[in-house]
Structure 1
């Protein structure tokens, strides 16, 4: 009888509990697993910690489990989670409670943000597909029945260690959940989780060690469906009473107060596990070099010889895992194994992904080679336990500005306290202090964020404070100086602003996330404002998707900016108030062009969104050019007063709000500016604006963030801008600021070319045929016009070439005309309607009779 349904079904097997009773060969007095509802399971494992939140995790747009739904309202976790997980394909649950302010929909589920945990878990693989692959038997079992037999054997080997819940994953695997009566901290939890892994390894129970020791791990949620088989994930209750912390320590043999696993030699004579070194038990290890270790370790050196040719299969697997974990990395693992009989790139990548644990120890290498192998004659045999870690560890020789390599236990408590708030960072050629608790005022009050101090100011800030002295007669040292000299201080090699990007650990990311967590809510009022301001549907859809694109790509630039132009009181600012609030410290409302186009631009380095309120650049050509560059630049120089300029990536998207008629130097091929003439439907509607501002200052930003994160952007490209009448007017006004364009526009509007050669002359342009114009008269008309007398006027040869371009496809013909007794050259212009149409097509300037 199968523990699961047939593939393609998702209803519980009515005989599942009976099957489990039959398979779990435990003492007769022990109660067998009983099928329960998902709500009962979720209620049983809930942390219920007042300072933390739990939730569910679903697949994001990238196909990875990264979309978090958190129980932030504190409702009964059992029914809430059961309802949200029901029939989802797939759904996962967070086992830990996380800091509410640090975890949100798409970020923050990290070990550093774990508040508390209320139990332990074990994942056992039971997929026949994975088991039948080469080496698959080392990581799991052939099927669900084999898994349950292994669970039963482990239960008999460790009396009293019975899981509170058992979950059938839908693919043959099994998860065991051991629940505590009270939540414990991550620091208390980790050594106990390690102890559980050691017990499993001692008794040959094949579990996923990384899963069991990962406090931020997610597990399959009962009531959901497995994405490959379509089978429902089922939960069983096995043990009613949760474990007290004392009971857990007694059953597992854990010694409270230690951060490593206990001595389990009594459970397996002749074998001890030291988790700080023996990486084949647990993955934590120092950074190491395979090549450096292989210089002294014959087993590792021989495994890499001849690129794996004739290497025994077990040795090859150990070499693969060790090389992939080394600083040489996965490419090196392929290099040293590419001539092995079982090698192919895709299959080897799959094998590497399936291997767990840290670099193997001496025992593992010796067993893999067998009798007569290099380990038998190794001069270090018995002196070391793990060749990769102990022979290949990379020594920390990094200069100031990089994270110091130091064991956590060696860092004093006062250093840890300062590290929580401060860090030393390289900034250009200088070192500065980052204060992560710098207060700033936002639309939602004072918030603590990231700020900078020079070292002298840092010393003044901590002046009069001293760290504890190690010896009674030791002279106290200033706290700032002691921290700066301590090797365990928090420090970074550099800083960047990279929203949503994974960075090396020694690089400080200035992105602090959105200021609010996304919450499902009503955004009707905001959509009404958008509809009132942008009445044309095609333009409104573009604006909505442009804003959604920026929310979903906070580190990207759309290469375009939105310009909202219209009367006061229409709601232009109000539309963007909640967006500024949700971006928090990464948004700015600027009313001075110098803030954007000036020399000192450090404040722009950490911006993702900027609203320019009447910050019009058109009066200063240099500023106009700079804002155009800001819109599309990929990188920028960021400079702060008194500091070296640094190169950084431009992440900011811009919106301009203005009452002016002329705001942008637009051309016919405009690609940056989306100019919109705003509607006035809500102007003066005080009742509506009262409701809107209450929404914007309350739940609005969180609801809008959730809404924009969910907007479908398929096929949307922010660079494909709508070109409406408002943009055409900007093109027209730009064109008419060119003296030659303005002069010819006047001529075509009047239908006449005027000049003076001692008396006023007029040459009328014919409607039905060509008009011959004396070249000298044409030039005098331009140079005598008001446009021609400006300082910025264009020289005549250039104007003459422009006239030919504006005359249409046939251009201006040159003809010889008899004047009196002489013949002179004249320019023959096409009929006036042709001239007007060609001019409008070339400049977008409309002409009226």
Structure 2
């Protein structure tokens, strides 16, 4: 075609070619054809459960209840049930359990497909729930879990599932003077029964409760222990306050839920109430309890899942009618122990009125007042310093080691040995040790301190104790006595020994309630001061 006229004729009669974009060519190479310019795009999946994803689709519906989460080195499924029981609103499932749960569920999936003739048709297929959701790029996925409680529901770490579900009620917007009327009976219960009319103790307890809802992520390192007779309402405090955040309140009466290996429920716990306390000198439980109160982290382990390390925001509330509730050390700083007054014991009308008020807006008003309390006001209680109550002293006495318990008995009796009628300043070490061993055997102590450990413990109980050779008179078989030089303790006066013991326990000891008062004390030795009636309600 060398003739120019032929070339012009060929160009004028040529068909116009369409150059498609690269994306369209790729789509055609994959077997699909782009819709014609005048063809509307495929419609969104219809609402009500028809479609692969999007609003109302299978993946969207399952995302409302399930999430794919990494816990340690394992992949698990986290299930949320907002309308379920408080203790079961978040459950961890293994992948096999998740697949088995949905094994009999088939989903009707509708799609619009384009045939070879260019016509759009509707295609229906049936798919399994679990594989469809697991294989979807739109499934809800997290890199891990955390517990980030916040009164304003602030977001936690990006990419992590936050176990915090928020408050169960909304704080009341009523004026402060009207709010207190909404829960007047519960407030009276706190003041009159729980705190037995003590203003300072009530201020501490109220601030402790307010701190829990205002600053849930701030650790104060203290716990509340309520001891009282049955029917006095000691459990009511935890039930009422816990109802303000029901998803994060747990009431347990079995030690395995506190000290056991599997403790998944503790991951999202803000207030743990140990009802009818189980403490009975269990050393394994002692370490766990103290760790829950003060440790910044805790290990969480669910069955079949690797243990994970989470922030510890648990507050402990003990309620028991046992004499020995918590392991309190000599310088105890964790447990605020209160004896609940029996003023409303078995008063069913009193507690029924309390429930009625709380159900008619009382909880909302209580939450508002706790949130409004000024924790930083001048004169506000220091929550890291527990009130020194008589109930706390009793817990310290019951938690003493054998040597300390024996020495406390000697100070109460006012004699260094059980046979001595008066306080002797110079006593042989063997005499004191034999007296301790006799007491330990009498009460059934299995592990007794040896002589060396006994002496070391005595030096801590009586700082500055002098161990030196002293002269004692020994009775002879033939009659009479002779002096001998033996190792002995040079004890301070009784009043000074009692004062030193009070300093060790960090509070005054009412010696007159445990033994006879010595005439030479004259108010010394840590005798409890009289009760100030102006400090009561």
Q: Which residue of 1 aligns with 2:304?
A: 642
Aligned: 1:596 with 2:251: no
Q: Which residue of 1 aligns with 2:188?
A: 528
Q: Which residue of 1 aligns with 2:385?
A: 720
- Could you tell me how far apart the structure 2 residues matched to 1:561 and 1:469 are? 58
- Could you tell me how far apart the structure 1 residues matched to 2:411 and 2:330 are? 20
1:808–1:834: 8 Å Cα contact kept in structure 2?
no
Equivalent of 1:555, from 217, 229, 240?
217
Equivalent of 1:476, from 114, 126, 131?
126
How many residue pairs were aligned? 429
The Cα shift of 1:614 comes to: 0.8
**Unaligned runs of at least 5 residues, structure 1:** 1-407, 756-761
Which deviations, in whole Å up to 9, do the C-alpha atoms of 1:296-349 show, x marking residues without a partner? xxxxxxxxxxxxxxxxxxxxxxxxxxxxxxxxxxxxxxxxxxxxxxxxxxxxxx
2:429–2:487: 8 Å Cα contact kept in structure 1?
yes
With over 3 angstroms needed to count, the CA separation of the structure-2 counterparts of 1:597 and 1:824, relative to structure 1, is same
- Could you tell me how far apart the structure 2 residues matched to 1:581 and 1:441 are? 12
Q: Which residue of 1 aligns with 2:156?
A: 503
The Cα shift of 1:529 comes to: 0.9
Aligned: 1:815 with 2:456: no
Equivalent of 2:404, from 731, 741, 753?
741
- Could you tell me how far apart the structure 1 residues matched to 2:123 and 2:500 are? 93
- Could you tell me how far apart the structure 2 residues matched to 1:450 and 1:822 are? 78
Equivalent of 2:65, from 421, 429, 436?
421
The Cα shift of 1:805 comes to: 4.0
SS in 2 for 1:605: helix
1:813–1:829: 8 Å Cα contact kept in structure 2?
no
Q: Which residue of 2 aligns with 1:172?
A: none
2:331–2:504: 8 Å Cα contact kept in structure 1?
no
With over 3 angstroms needed to count, the CA separation of the structure-2 counterparts of 1:542 and 1:627, relative to structure 1, is same
Which deviations, in whole Å up to 9, do the C-alpha atoms of 1:407-466 show, x marking residues without a partner? x99954423233233221112222222233364235xxxx99433332233333333322
With over 3 angstroms needed to count, the CA separation of the structure-2 counterparts of 1:750 and 1:557, relative to structure 1, is closer
Q: Which residue of 2 aligns with 1:456?
A: 96
SS in 2 for 1:704: helix
1:638–1:647: 8 Å Cα contact kept in structure 2?
yes
The Cα shift of 1:636 comes to: 0.8
Which deviations, in whole Å up to 9, do the C-alpha atoms of 1:760-814 show, x marking residues without a partner? xx55544xxx543334333333333335873221111121233344446564554
The Cα shift of 1:554 comes to: 2.7
With over 3 angstroms needed to count, the CA separation of the structure-2 counterparts of 1:765 and 1:434, relative to structure 1, is same
2:53–2:138: 8 Å Cα contact kept in structure 1?
yes
Q: Which residue of 2 aligns with 1:848?
A: 515
Which deviations, in whole Å up to 9, do the C-alpha atoms of 1:449-487 show, x marking residues without a partner? 433332233333333322514346675332321221111
The Cα shift of 1:628 comes to: 0.9
The Cα shift of 1:543 comes to: 0.3
With over 3 angstroms needed to count, the CA separation of the structure-2 counterparts of 1:803 and 1:430, relative to structure 1, is closer
1:754–1:781: 8 Å Cα contact kept in structure 2?
yes
2:229–2:321: 8 Å Cα contact kept in structure 1?
yes
The Cα shift of 1:830 comes to: 3.4
The Cα shift of 1:656 comes to: 0.7
- Could you tell me how far apart the structure 2 residues matched to 1:822 and 1:530 are? 64
1:807–1:834: 8 Å Cα contact kept in structure 2?
no
Q: Which has the higher contact order (CA 8 A, sep 6+)?
A: 2
Q: Which residue of 2 aligns with 1:485?
A: 135
The Cα shift of 1:615 comes to: 2.9
1:467–1:482: 8 Å Cα contact kept in structure 2?
no
What is the correspondence of 1:29-428 to structure 2 with a 5 Å cutoff?
411-413=53-55, 414=57, 415-428=59-72
With over 3 angstroms needed to count, the CA separation of the structure-2 counterparts of 1:703 and 1:796, relative to structure 1, is same
- Could you tell me how far apart the structure 1 residues matched to 2:200 and 2:357 are? 27
- Could you tell me how far apart the structure 1 residues matched to 2:342 and 2:132 are? 62
2:109–2:125: 8 Å Cα contact kept in structure 1?
no
Q: Which residue of 2 aligns with 1:776?
A: 430
1:805–1:811: 8 Å Cα contact kept in structure 2?
no
Q: Which residue of 2 aligns with 1:434?
A: 78
What is the correspondence of 1:621-660 to structure 2 with a 5 Å cutoff?
621-660=283-322
Which deviations, in whole Å up to 9, do the C-alpha atoms of 1:490-524 show, x marking residues without a partner? 21111111113433442211111111111234222
What TM-score, normalized to structure 1?
0.47
- Could you tell me how far apart the structure 2 residues matched to 1:434 and 1:806 are? 54
The Cα shift of 1:572 comes to: 1.4
With over 3 angstroms needed to count, the CA separation of the structure-2 counterparts of 1:795 and 1:467, relative to structure 1, is farther
Q: Which residue of 1 aligns with 2:167?
A: 514
The Cα shift of 1:676 comes to: 0.9
SS in 2 for 1:440: coil
Equivalent of 1:792, from 439, 447, 454?
447
With over 3 angstroms needed to count, the CA separation of the structure-2 counterparts of 1:435 and 1:821, relative to structure 1, is closer
1:523–1:707: 8 Å Cα contact kept in structure 2?
no
1:561–1:673: 8 Å Cα contact kept in structure 2?
yes
1:753–1:778: 8 Å Cα contact kept in structure 2?
yes
Aligned: 1:824 with 2:464: no
SS in 2 for 1:584: helix
2:404–2:461: 8 Å Cα contact kept in structure 1?
no
1:618–1:624: 8 Å Cα contact kept in structure 2?
no
2:183–2:354: 8 Å Cα contact kept in structure 1?
no
With over 3 angstroms needed to count, the CA separation of the structure-2 counterparts of 1:467 and 1:810, relative to structure 1, is same
With over 3 angstroms needed to count, the CA separation of the structure-2 counterparts of 1:618 and 1:558, relative to structure 1, is farther
Which deviations, in whole Å up to 9, do the C-alpha atoms of 1:619-653 show, x marking residues without a partner? 32211221111111111110011111111111111
SS in 2 for 1:571: coil
